[in-house]
Amino acid sequence: MKEKILYIPNQDEYLKVSAINNKIIRFHFSKDREWRHNYSFAIEKEILPIDFISEESENEFLISTSFLKISMDKNNGNIKIYDRENNCILSDYENLGYKRVDKKVYCYKEIKEETAFLGFGERTGDLNKKGKKLMNWNTDNPHHTPDIDHLYQSHPFFLAWNPQVSYGIFFDNTYRSYFDMGRENENYYYFFAEDGELDYYFIYGPTPKEVIEGYTELTGRCYLPPVWALGYQQSRWSYKDENEVKKIAEKFKEENIPCNVIYVDIDYMDGFRVFTIDKNKFPNFEKMIEELNKEGFRVVPIIDPGVKKDDSYEVYKEGIEKNYFCKRENEEIFVGHVWPGESVFPDFVREEVRKWWGEKQRVLVEKGISGIWNDMNEPSIIPSFDYKMMRLLFYHLKFKEPPRVPSFLEKEDFYSKTLSAEVVHGENKEFTHDEIHNVYGLLMAKASFEGWRDAKPEERPLIITRAGFSGIQKYSAVWTGDNKSIWEHLYMSIIMLQNLGISGVPFIGADVGGFWRDCEPELFARWIELGIFYPFFRNHSATNTKNQEPWEFGEHIEDIARKYIKLRYKLMPYLYSLFYEAKEKGTPILRSLILEFPKDPNAIKYEDEFMFGPSFLVAPIYEKGKNERDVYLPEGTWYNFWNNETFKGPNIIKVEAPLDIIPIFVKAGSIIPMRGEGNKIELRVYPGEGEFLYYEDDGISWDYEKGIYNLVRFSLSKDKLSMEYIHKGFKETEFITSILNG
């Protein structure tokens, strides 16, 4: 049997249960057996349910797969999920497994042994969200602090962990949704959405990595970024003209600091009109890029969704003619203020609009850019009064951060910072903005990615985005938006990136050095030291703030930055191999300790350290003036990366961390492929038991999709290393092995 339909008496509605595979069960509720929500913005591939065994007794239905047993009570619809050993992993709370109140749909579950609830996308605050309430509504909040709720992205997914078992829940609903993880009552958690249907997936682990693998089986996985996109990247709002961009590039050469990408922010455009270039500031945009490319720099420009309302502007005129912009129910085109002033917004829900937008990118692609930076796609709108203020503050009074809006104003409808709720989307106006809001950024990124594949099929792009929804990893890298140059925000990034990674998005980073405000030298050094472990490694800073390039903080800090940026490049083969793992399984690169040590009950307590792949444990310094810290080492033998001193875990040790040292430990049994001399790969081997999958390809084209790559399994037993080609489709690499002798 492939699906079971059940009547839920206390709601007078229906439930359809299906198994996506032996570990993933879908529960979809519907008023009238219509299951209107038979589409998904997050799950794009067709998912065919598998067969399961179904039994029936007087009071219950039982369905089972090779991993799970699901029992459903005929009298009240209660659902219980058991593993093979008959342990109950999850059960509805009382009779509240499904509840509809007006348009809202709710689901309550018992809190049993779950020690931690993780994921939920891009979140500030503690790593573990047990006892917290969270909302999903994509929002441009330039003052995000540890205690704010929602940010630019929505990922209605979480991972429930305890040392025995992990499972995940993906609530596939794009409306404004909420998760209360035992805040209201420690005996239950619940999630609900303002509208739509209760349609969720239970994803069994039992390990946290397997949950993420299951979740990304549904929502998709990243493509392999081009290797250059894993290097150091330099950005600024804004490098104001061609000369400045070139000077920055020259300076990197002069200072012998590797850098692969330079970004151009909004000021490269002609009056903030997307897909145009300011001819005064960038008279030879194309030539500038060509020259930079020769020197090893790539250029990535920003693109905002807002199209300037201007009758003499092609993109606007065309969009109007073709009826591509978002409208209200009454056919009036929605106009909102953003950087260009009055602007209109493409209706990215429609495939033809996405195609058109993707095509528009071509003018820039042809000028030689290497990717697209998608911003403001929550979508963010600046209320018109603020718009005038912002321009005044940033461009004339040189503010280093936006003023705070009093919170009583923010709650008012007239202060809405996004499209009006009256906007309707789709060919036949079939969607309200409430339903589309959270996926607007995802759809823009999709347009961006697909447009790129058409315009330049021979090269992988670097697509980055600020807004997103579950599944964004298929199209884009994500940066965590407008942080500040303060210690608290360096710390915050450690946690945000762990949860975003658990949410299936591996290619992620925060603005290194902080965006708003001036960065101080010590903070900059600490941030670069941490930043080399961000999968997406970009230094970016806001207009009017102190310049933030590595040489802006004195020679000592610059030396530190150089040393670390070079280390990042050295680790590139390791990092690229981790991206292969992310592409295959969704496994994050920057990992919470519980991902590598799922059975360690203490691992969850140390949110201020993380794993970089399976081998490196990184313990950043995040306080001013600190020169040492405690590091928790899970079970096993650990090598101090800097001096190879060994330690036995589990243990908490105190380590010295002068300004030029970030504590890094390597797990015994690790095999680390590093960039060696020439084209050789240097394998640094830390004796013990272990294995590593080394991946390589041309690093730039899509040829890997045709099997043109190598995959090599290195296995280590004590200090004996062996290798085996699992796939050989690319030219052979020379490996040089250095084994540490204890």
Residues marked active site are found at: 375, 378, 482
DSSP 394-444: IIIS--SSPPPPPHHHHTSGGG--SS-TTEEESTTS-EEHHHHGGGHHHHH
d(CA 216, CA 470): 9
Among 205, 341, 379, 481, binds ligand MIG (CB under 6 A): 481
Binding string to ligand MIG for residues 433 to 462, with x set by CB under 6 A, is what?
------------------------------
Task: Classify residue 499 as exposed, middle or buried by CB count within 10 Å of its CB (0-12, 13-18, 19+).
Answer: buried
To the nearest whole angstrom, how small is the minimum distance from the Cβ of residue 465 to ligand MIG? 11
How far is residue 118 from each of residues 112, 442, 594, measured CA to CA in Å?
Answer: 16, 22, 10
Minimum distance from CB of 558 to ligand MIG (Å)? 24
Query: For residues 210 and 267, which CB has a smaller minimum distance to ligand MIG in the complex?
Result: 267
Assess 122 for contact with ligand MIG (CB under 6 A): no
Looking only at the bridges linking them, the beta strands covering 610-612 and 616-618 are: antiparallel
Please tell me what DSSP assigns to residue 382: -
The three-class DSSP label of residue 553 is: helix
Under 8 Å between Cβ of 621 and 587: no
Instruction: Tell me: does residue 466 bind ligand MIG (CB under 6 A).
Output: yes
Helices (H), 469-612: 487-502, 521-531, 555-570, 572-585, 593-596
**What is the C-alpha separation between 729 and 552, in angstroms, rounded?**
45
**Site residue total, ligand MIG (CB under 6 A):** 10
What's the angle, vertex CA 481, arms to CA 159 and CA 456, rounded to 5? 95
Single out the residue of 167, 169, 171 nearest to residue 205, CA to CA.
167
Q: Smallest gap, in angstroms, from Cβ of residue 377 to ligand MIG? A: 10
Tallying the residues shown for the chain, one arrives at 742
Query: What is the x/- site pattern for ligand MIG, positions 363-402, by CB under 6 A?
Result: ------------xx--------------------------
Q: Which residue among 116, 229, 302, 444 contacts ligand MIG (CB under 6 A)?
A: 302
CB atoms within 10 A of CB 689: 11
Run of H or E including 695: strand 688-696
CB of 481 to ligand MIG, least distance (A): 5
Q: How far apart (Å, rounded) are the C-alpha atoms in residues 161 and 361?
A: 43
Q: Does 482 bind ligand MIG (CB under 6 A)?
A: yes
Q: Is-contact 337 383, C-beta < 8 A? A: yes
Q: For residues 655 and 48, what is the distance between their CA atoms, to the nearest angstrom?
A: 52
Closest by alpha carbon to 151, among 493, 423, 394? 493
Q: Up-side HSE of residue 697: CA atoms within 13 Å toward CB? A: 24
For ligand MIG, the closer of residues 242 and 375 by Cβ is: 375
Kindly tell me which of 237 and 694 has the beta carbon lying closer to ligand MIG: 237
Closest C-alpha among 396, 646, 361 to residue 543: 396
CA-based torsion, 253, 255, 259, 262: positive or negative = negative
Smallest gap from residue 378 Cβ to ligand MIG (A): 10
Q: Which is nearer to ligand MIG, 73 or 375 (CB)?
A: 375
3-class DSSP state of 550 = helix
Contacts of ligand MIG in 680-699 (CB under 6 A)? none
Q: CB of 511: closest distance to ligand MIG in angstroms? A: 7
Closest CB 338 distance from ligand MIG, rounded Å:
8
- Identity of the residue, 224 or 274, whose beta carbon is nearer to ligand MIG in the bound complex: 274
| Cβ partners under 8 Å of residue 697, min gap 6 | 224, 703, 704, 708, 709, 710, 730
Binding of residue 237 to ligand MIG (CB under 6 A)? yes
- Residue 279 C-beta-side C-alpha neighbours within 13 Å: 0
Q: How far is Cα 379 from Cα 416, in angstroms, rounded to an integer?
A: 11
Residue window 506-545: x/- pattern of binding to ligand MIG, with contact defined by CB under 6 A: ----------------------------------x-----
The CB-of-339 to ligand MIG minimum distance in angstroms stands at: 7
> CB-hemisphere CA count at 13 Å for 99?
14
Residues 649-668 that bind ligand MIG (CB under 6 A): none
Q: Cβ of residue 622: shortest distance to ligand MIG, in angstroms?
A: 22
By CB under 6 A, name the one of 265, 378, 435, 697 that touches ligand MIG. Answer: 265
Walk across the sheet containing 628-640 and list its strands: 590-591, 610-612, 616-618, 664-667, 628-640, 646-656
Q: Which two tokens stand for residue 634?
A: 């899970």
Cβ-based nearer residue to ligand MIG, 385 or 725: 385
Residue 15 or 467: which CB sits closer to ligand MIG?
467
Q: How far is the CB of 10 from ligand MIG (least distance, A)?
A: 46
Give the residue, chosen from 25, 118, 224, 266, that forms a contact with ligand MIG under the rule CB under 6 A. Answer: 266
Peptide bond into 206 cis (omega under 30): yes
CB-nearest residue to ligand MIG: 237
Residues 52-81 that bind ligand MIG (CB under 6 A): none
Q: Please say which residue, 545 or 592, places its beta carbon nearer to ligand MIG.
A: 545
Using the minimum distance from each CB to ligand MIG, give the nearer residue, 191 or 239: 239
Q: CB of residue 382 vs ligand MIG: minimum separation in angstroms?
A: 7
Q: Distance (Å, rounded) from C-alpha 391 to C-alpha 635?
A: 55
| Nearest residue (CB) to ligand MIG, 483 versus 615 | 483
- The pair of structure tokens assigned to 221 is 């996985």
Within residues 319-348, the interface with ligand MIG by CB under 6 A covers none
272 lines the binding site for ligand MIG (CB under 6 A): no
Pick between residue 539 and residue 640 the one whose CB is nearest to ligand MIG. 539
Nearer to ligand MIG, 541 or 592 (CB): 541
The residue type at 188:
Y
Task: For residues 356 and 192, give the distance between their C-alpha atoms in angstroms, rounded to a whole number.
Answer: 35
Shortest spacing between CB 375 and ligand MIG, in angstroms: 5
Q: Interface residues with ligand MIG (CB under 6 A)? A: 237, 265-266, 302, 375-376, 466, 481-482, 540
